[in-house]
Amino acid sequence: EAGVAQSPRYKIIEKRQSVAFWCNPISGHATLYWYQQILGQGPKLLIQFQNNGVVDDSQLPKDRFSAERLKGVDSTLKIQPAKLEDSAVYLCASSQMPASARGNEQFFGPGTRLTVL
Amino acid sequence: AQSVSQHNHHVILSEAASLELGCNYSYGGTVNLFWYVQYPGQHLQLLLKYFSGDPLVKGIKGFEAEFIKSKFSFNLRKPSVQWSDTAEYFCAVTGEYGNKLVFGAGTILRVKS
């Protein structure tokens, strides 16, 4: 079974530039998550989709971050404009069961390491 | 709000030593608990999970964890570590329903051969 795919793996940009990350979840997985992992910290949930609807975006900085999940499959996360503090690894994860299901396992992709100069 | 505290950020052990990594969570209701591991150069993967039932949970590669509700703890243990256990370990929690994972800061384990 193919895992969660993410691209690019690495991205270096200057502050105030824009950047986009792409995620392809495991086939058939209804729920998709984007996490931000800052160096020295655990991952923090930014946004959670079930199919193509947003379940939770309470921790997404909506003034600069946006995300979409077209047709309930692939997803993109965009930052515009980027700030120095956005330097982090952005992780995508997916799970088979619906967002409301009890503690279902999330499968993580390799992440995109973003450096903002 | 939920939070997770991992006691040690760095742990160094010799091979065959016993391991215990501490994890405490803050949450008022029923929880689901997880340990994830990230080996060097690899992505996060599930080590073990607790939903209900026997509070002693066994996972992959000889790891186990014990849920102690009265102490709000879910410590990870392994009787004898190997060099290949070198990795970063994350404790995480969700509420009973819904799967918004809240992670601890992680513990970096280095096993000396």
In this predicted model, which residue has the larger pLDDT, A102 or A55? A55
Query: What pLDDT score was predicted for residue A25?
Result: 96
Q: What is the dihedral of CA B35, A107, B39, A116, to 10 degrees?
A: -110
Q: Which long-range contacts (CB under 8 A, 24 or more apart) does B18-21 make?
A: B18/B77, B18/B78, B18/B79, B18/B80, B18/B81, B19/B76, B19/B77, B19/B78, B19/B81, B19/B85, B19/B109, B20/B75, B20/B76, B20/B77, B21/B75, B21/B76, B21/B77, B21/B89, B21/B91, B21/B107, B21/B109
The DSSP 8-state label assigned to residue A62 in this structure reads: T
Which residue do the tokens 């994890």 mark?
B23
Rounded CA separation A16/A35 (Å): 21
Average pLDDT of the residues of chain A: 93
**A22 band by pLDDT with thresholds 50, 70 and 90:** very high
Mutation target among B51, B96, B99 for the A interface, most CBs of A within 10 A: B99
Is the separation of the CB atoms in A48 and A65 below 8 Å? no
Question: Which two structure tokens, joined as six digits, stand for A11?
Answer: 């991205």
Query: What pLDDT score was predicted for residue A52?
Result: 86
pLDDT in tens, B31-77: 899 999 999 989 999 999 998 899 999 999 999 999 999 999 999 99
Rounded CA separation B81/A99 (Å): 35
Which residue do the tokens 């742990």 mark?
B11
Mutation target among A106, A107, A112, A113 for the B interface, most CBs of B within 10 A: A106
- The whole-angstrom distance between A54's CA and the closest CA on chain B is 13
Provide, for chain B, the percentages of residues in helix, strand and coil under a 3-state DSSP scheme, each rounded to the nearest 5: 10, 55, 35
Query: What pLDDT score was predicted for residue A105?
Result: 84
Contact between A45 and B94 using a beta-carbon 8 Å cutoff? no
Q: Is A25 on the interface with B (CB under 8 A)?
A: no
- The set of residues, in sequence order, having a beta carbon less than 8 Å from that of A100 and lying 6+ positions away, is B97, B98
Nearest residue of A to residue B50, measured between CA atoms = A103
Q: Is A100 on the interface with B (CB under 8 A)?
A: yes
The yes-or-no verdict on residue B96 having pLDDT over 80 is no
Query: What pLDDT score was predicted for residue A104?
Result: 75
Is the separation of the CB atoms in A21 and A80 below 8 Å? no
Question: Mean pLDDT throughout A10-36?
Answer: 96
The yes-or-no verdict on residue A94 having pLDDT over 70 is yes
Rounded CA separation A47/A75 (Å): 11
Query: What pLDDT score was predicted for residue A111?
Result: 97
**Residue from the list B43, B51, B103 with its beta carbon closest to the beta carbon of A42:** B103
Contact between A99 and B34 using a beta-carbon 8 Å cutoff? no
**A27 band by pLDDT with thresholds 50, 70 and 90:** very high
Interface of A with B in 35-54 (CB under 8 A): 40-45, 48
The yes-or-no verdict on residue A74 having pLDDT over 80 is yes
**B28 band by pLDDT with thresholds 50, 70 and 90:** confident
Query: What pLDDT score was predicted for residue A71?
Result: 85
Query: What pLDDT score was predicted for residue B29?
Result: 83
- The whole-angstrom distance between B9's CA and the closest CA on chain A is 9
**Residue from the list B90, B94, B102 with its beta carbon closest to the beta carbon of A103:** B94
**A100 band by pLDDT with thresholds 50, 70 and 90:** low
- The percentage of residues in chain B with a pLDDT greater than 90, rounded to a whole number, is 80
Nearest residue of B to residue A90, measured between CA atoms = B43
Beta strands A10-13 and A112-116: pairing type?
Answer: parallel
